[in-house]
Structures are given as structure tokens and as C-alpha cells.
Structure 1
Amino acid sequence: MRKILIPTDFSENAFNAITFAIDLFKYEISEFYITNAYQDDIYADEALIEESDLQSVTETVSNNSKYQLNRILERIETISPNPKHSYHSVSANNLLIDEMDKIVDEKNIDIIVMGTRGKTNDKKITFGSHTLQVIKYVQCPVLAIPENYKYAQPKHILFPTNYLIPYKRRELKLLCEMASPFRAIIDTLYISISDKLSLRQKDNQTFIKEALHKNIINFKIIKSKQIINTIYQYIKENNIDMLVMVNTRHSFLEDILYQSTIDEFSLNIDIPFLALQNIKRY
């Protein structure tokens, strides 16, 4: 059974991520955990809250969270009554990252699906701050869905990698089982000034091939020093409809995510983006 966690701030971007996940996993028996962590909402106007009012404000925010989650479940049932899917709502007086860590651990979540931007919807950045924090710090694969992205079956997937890390079988199995129902082609892309692979890289490449055995895989090499620009150009020139990268030390994604400011992440992703965390989980 597939276990999927979807955070929501009740924006349309967040609901779009929900509907994308429902369509993506429509062939699988799946449990969806739709969660709203509302602690930040309680203290949003902290300067205006008297200590005596805190309990009342907390109760109001909590009740609204539960009400909005129920509305989402009703909306889902209307648009997608899939008998293979079951839904759970989680309303929590907690910080988003802490609550998601808790649910991922307790429910053994396979994947988090969320919108790239929420209520603030700052178009100057690729990811909203919450999405970026989840990708960086929550130990679970994250699938980020761009604003207003209309669901399309993932037919051509790009997986840039330097083959320097030993990949986790569970996460590659997730990618394999996501892609195989749609007969997707997966292009693994090595971007380097050299077109030769070390023995270690060849071993890791073989592991990928074995783990993604249900899919057609193309192993590509492009000579370049410009990783971000090369990925972006490859996406545009090859009609890629999903980008997959690994978030770990010594990976392409680490170089992108851990720059000094979010604004430096100039990839401008307008397709679904899956960040594998390379975490050993069972």
C-alpha cells in the first residue's frame, strides 16, 4: 500500500497538489494523509494577542483547520471517488516541519506531495519557503507540484545524477513504480567535463538500471560545467514532464539547494519535481 502525505494551507495551489497525487496514484491502493499544521497561524498577529486571549485564538484556529480539512475531504469525494484510495485528515497545533517529521515516522510515509508555493505565492522564487524546508529537512521523498500545473501522465522523466552516491533501493523502487504504469522513459543525465565514469560510478549506474528495471532507461552524458543551465535546457529540448534529483551530500541537488539564498535557485522549474532523500528507511 502506498502512503502519501500532503500538507495544505487551504490554498488552491495546495489543492492542486492533492488532485495531482490522486491522479498519479490512481492505479495503486493508497492512503492519503492530508495535514494542516496551524501553529504559525495562531501567532500570525502575535502583537495583537493578549495572553488571556491565546486560548480563544487557538480554539478558533483549530476549529477552522478541522472545518477546512473536512471540506477538502468532501471535495475529493466529489471529484475522485476511487475505491482504491482512503483519506485521513490531520489537524495539528504544531510547526509544519515538526508535524510532517512526526507523521512520516509514525505512518512510514512513502512520499510527500505538495505545491511549490502556498498562500504567499511569491513568483520570484521557484519554491516557497515551506516547500524548500521540507525538501531540505524532512526525511522522505518530496514531489513538488508547480502552481496551476495541470495533471499529465509522466511519460518522459529526467534524472540528473553524478553517480557518486549509493542510492537507496526503496526510493528508486518508488520512482520505478510511479513511472511504470505510464510506460515512462527515464533519462539519467550525467553532466561533467569528462565523459568517463569511474568504477564506483559504473557500479552505481548498474544499481540504478537494476532498480528501475520496469522502465526504459536512457543513460545520457553531456559535457558541461553549467549544471543548472544544462538541466533546464535538457528539460525544454526533450519535452520532460517530471524532474527527479537526489538530495544528499555530493549530489547535484545539494549544490543547488544549499546556495546562499533561495533566489539563486534559478532553474525555474515548471514541471513536477521529485526530490529523493537517499535515506535508509524500511
Structure 2
Amino acid sequence: MKNILIPTDFSGNADHAISYALNLFKCERTNFYFIHAYADEVYGPFHNVDDTNFEKNKNSIENLTNSKLNELVTEISERTHNPKHVYEAVSSFESLVDAVNNFSNLKNIDLIIMGTKGKTDDARITFGSNTIQVFKYVQCPVLAIPDGIEYTQPKKIVFPTDYMVPYKRRELKLLDILAAQFKSQVHSLYISDFEDLSVRQLDNKKFLEESLPNARLSFVVTAVANRATAIMNYIQEHQINLLVMVNSRHSFLEDMLYRSTIDEIGLKPPVPFLVMQNLPR
């Protein structure tokens, strides 16, 4: 039984991510939890009000949240009729990151699935602020779904790596499960001007191979003109369906998330983006 958590702000982007998630796990026994964190909605416009008005507005937003979540669950249940799926609504008077982290630990969530953008839907950006915050601070795998893409089985997966980070079986298990389910090719993309690997890199590469026994794994080397450009080009040239990266200390992904923004670096994947966490949980 899979436990999947889907944050929603009731936007079109969130609805699109929900549809993708239901398709991805349509043949799997799955618990879907739809969560809306509403603390920012309460605190945002009411910083300087008395306790009575604060509680009144908090209760109003809480009731509206619960109503929307229940409508969402009812609509999905009536539309899908999938006996393998169980749906549950979750409202939380917390920030999004705290709500998702706490609930992930409480229910031992396997995967978080969300849209790349929220209500703002700014065409100039690839990932909204909420998605970036979840990438950075939630210690659970996160799958971000770009708006507008049609669901396609992840038959071709690209996994960029420099083989410098020692992986963990826990984080690679999800990738192996997906590869087994869809009989996927997993392209391990080494972005470097040098093909020779150090002893450390060779050990990590071997561990990767051993940890993905169900994947049709291939190892590819490409020049390092620009890592983001190399990834984007590979996705386009090989008709990749899913991009997978690991968020770990001193990694390319950490560099994007903490020292700059994904948009400034130029990584704008036109496919779902799975971020796995090599961080304590």
C-alpha cells in the first residue's frame, strides 16, 4: 500500500497534479491524502486584530478549507471509481512546509506530488515559491508536475549524477519501484569532460547499479558545457518522460536551490521532476 500526499491550493495547477498522480498509481493500492495548509491565509491579512476577530476569521477560513477539501474528495471519488484508491482530506493550521513535513512523518508518506506552480501561475517562472520551499525543506521525495503536460508512463527516466555522493538504498528504492512498475529505462547521466572515474566514484556507481536491479539501467557521459543545458538537451533528444535528481549536500541540485534559483540557472524541465532527499529524516 502506497501513501501519497498531495498539497493543494485548489488551483488548476494543483488539480492537474492530482490527475497525474491518480494515473501514475491507477493500478496500485494507494492511500491519497489531499492537504491544504491555511495558516498563511489566516495570518496574512490579520496581523493587527484582536483575538476575537482573529478567531472568527480563522474559523471561517478553516470551515471554507474543509468544505473545499470535502468537495474535492467527493468529486474524485465519483469520477474515478477506483477500488484500489482511498482518499482522505487533511486541513492544517500550519505553514505548507511544516504541514507537509509533519504529516509525512505521521503517515510515513512514500511520495509527495504537487504542481510546479500555484494560483499565481506566472508564465515567467518554472517553479513557484511553494514548490521550491518543499524541495528544499521537506525530507521526503517530491514529484513536481508541470502544468499542461499530458500523463505519459515514465518509460524513459534520466538520472543526472556525478557519482560523488554516496547514495542510500532508501532514496533509490522509489526509483527502482517506478522502473519495475513501468519497465523503464533509467539513463544515468554523468556530466563531465572526463570519462575516467575515481575510486570513490566507481564505488558509488557500482552501488547505484546494485540498488536498481529492476531498472533497465544505462550509463551515459556528456560534456559539461553547462549542466542545466546538458540535462535539458538530453531530455529533448531522448524523449525523456521523467527527470530524477537527488537533493544532497554539495550537489548540483542543492546549488540551484540554495545559492540561486532554478530559473536563473536555466533548468526548466518540460517533464515531471522527481527530487529525492539524501538528508536525515
TM-score by length of 1: 0.95
User: Where does residue 213 of structure 2 map in the other structure?
Assistant: 213
- Tell me, yes or no, if structure 1 residue 109 matches structure 2 residue 109: yes
Q: Is the 8 A contact 1:126 1:265 kept in 2?
A: no
Aligned residues: 281
**Once superposed, which parts of structure 1, at least 4 consecutive aligned residues long, lie more than 4 Å away?**
47-51
Tell me the distance in 2 between the aligned counterparts of 1:191 and 1:85. 40
Q: Secondary structure of 1:244's match?
A: strand
**Mapped partners of 1:265, 1:123: distance in 2:** 17
Deviations 1:44-100 (A, max 9, x none): 323685553211111110011001101111121122222221122111111111111
| Preserved CA contact (<8 Å) 2:11 2:118 | yes
Q: How does 1:194-273 map to 2 (within 5 A)?
A: 194-261=194-261, 263-273=263-273
Unmatched runs of 5 consecutive residues or more in structure 2: none
Q: Mapping of 1:123-138 within 5 angstroms?
A: 123-138=123-138
Tell me, what secondary structure is at the counterpart of 2:259? Answer: coil
Distance 1:45 1:174 in 2: 40
The C-alpha deviation readout for 1:260-281, integer Å capped at 9, x for no partner, is 3454142122210000101355
**C-alpha distance in 2, partners of 1:201/1:27?**
37
Structure 1 segment 137-152 matched on structure 2, within 5 A: 137-152=137-152
Counterpart of 1:18 in structure 2 is 18
Please give the alpha-carbon distance, in whole angstroms, between the structure 2 residues aligned to 1:125 and 1:50: 38
Q: Deviation of residue 156 (structure 1)?
A: 0.6
Q: Are the counterparts in 1 of residues 139 and 280 from structure 2 also a CA contact under 8 Å?
A: no
Instruction: For residue 91 of structure 1, give the secondary structure of its aligned residue in structure 2.
Output: strand
The structure-2 alpha-carbon separation of the partners of 1:43 and 1:186, relative to structure 1 and needing over 3 Å to count, comes to same
**Match in the other structure for 2:74:** 74
- Whether the aligned pair in 2 keeps the contact of 1:173 and 1:211 (CA below 8 Å) is yes
Give the CA deviation at 1:5: 0.9
Q: Distance in 1 between matches of 2:161 and 2:184?
A: 18
Give the distance between the partners of 2:151 and 2:256, measured in 1 at CA. 26
Q: Which moved more, 1:81-90 or 1:133-142?
A: 81-90
Q: Share of identical aligned residues, percent?
A: 48
TM-score by length of 2: 0.95
**Aligned 8 A contact 1:164 1:250 in 2:** no
Pair 1:41-2:25 in alignment = no
C-alpha contact (below 8 Å) 2:142/2:274 kept by paired residues = yes
Give unmatched runs, 5+ long, in structure 1. Answer: none
Q: Provide the C-alpha distance between the structure 2 equivalents of 1:219 and 1:159, rounded to a whole number of angstroms.
A: 10
Structure 2 equivalent of residue 164 of structure 1? 164
Asked if structure 2 preserves the Cα contact closer than 8 Å seen for 1:24 and 1:178, the reply is no
Which residue identity is paired with 1:165? V
1:243 partner amino acid: L
